[in-house]
Amino acid sequence: MSELVLTDQNFDQVLTESELPILVDFWAPWCGPCRFVGPIITQIAEERAGVLRVGKLNVDDSANTAAKFGITGIPTLILFKGGKPVERIVGALPKDKLEKQLEPHL
């Protein structure tokens, strides 16, 4: 399953319609740490298909949504469950540490 492209326009709808938890990667193309964590997020999306959905939101293109969730540093990952944020991870973490923080919510 590929990652969802999230925008200001579709963010709320995607979150409310998803029966699975959604991990949202708030990122930007110019962000070095975002480029580091990107492939890890893709790998988690593939390995957890059917249990977890993964979306990416470009903070430059969708500044309203980024502001709504208080994103001040990227990469920031927020795990939403039932449309509500349940876990926030700031910075580029290795895969094992990311999974350890997500696991209790899946």
Residues belonging to the active site: 31, 34
Does residue 27 contact residue 86 with C-beta atoms inside 8 Å? no
Does residue 20 contact residue 51 with C-beta atoms inside 8 Å? yes
